[in-house]
């Protein structure tokens, strides 16, 4: 049986996926407020890949709007 608490602690120690943690915190914050986010994505106003954070703000967006962005030739976001 997997020890999820141990795995989570190890991920935090190794600083794995800090952006994933930011996304989880944003979702949990909206859930705590009682926001119905069924069928929606929690989108960051300033993308995490562009240096954004939860303090920059989050919004609910349709998945089709949140998952595809214009790209540069090197595949990074414009």
Q: CA-based Rg of the chain, rounded to a whole angstrom? A: 15
Give the confidence band of 22 by pLDDT, cuts at 50, 70, 90.
very high
Q: How far apart are CA 48 and CA 36, in angstroms?
A: 23
Q: DSSP letter for 38, please.
A: T
Instruction: Sort strands 41-44 and 58-61 into parallel, antiparallel or unpaired.
Output: antiparallel
Tell me what pLDDT residue 37 has.
93
Tell me what pLDDT residue 29 has.
94
pLDDT, mean of residues 27-37? 95
């Amino acid at each position: 049986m997997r020890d999820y608490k141990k795995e989570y602690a190890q991920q935090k120690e190794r600083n794995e996926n800090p952006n994933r943690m930011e996304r989880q915190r944003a979702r949990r914050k909206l859930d705590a407020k009682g926001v119905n986010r069924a069928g929606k994505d929690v989108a960051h106003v300033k993308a995490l890949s562009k240096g954004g954070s939860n303090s920059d703000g989050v919004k609910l967006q349709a998945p089709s709007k949140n998952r595809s962005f214009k790209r540069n030739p090197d595949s990074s976001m414009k």
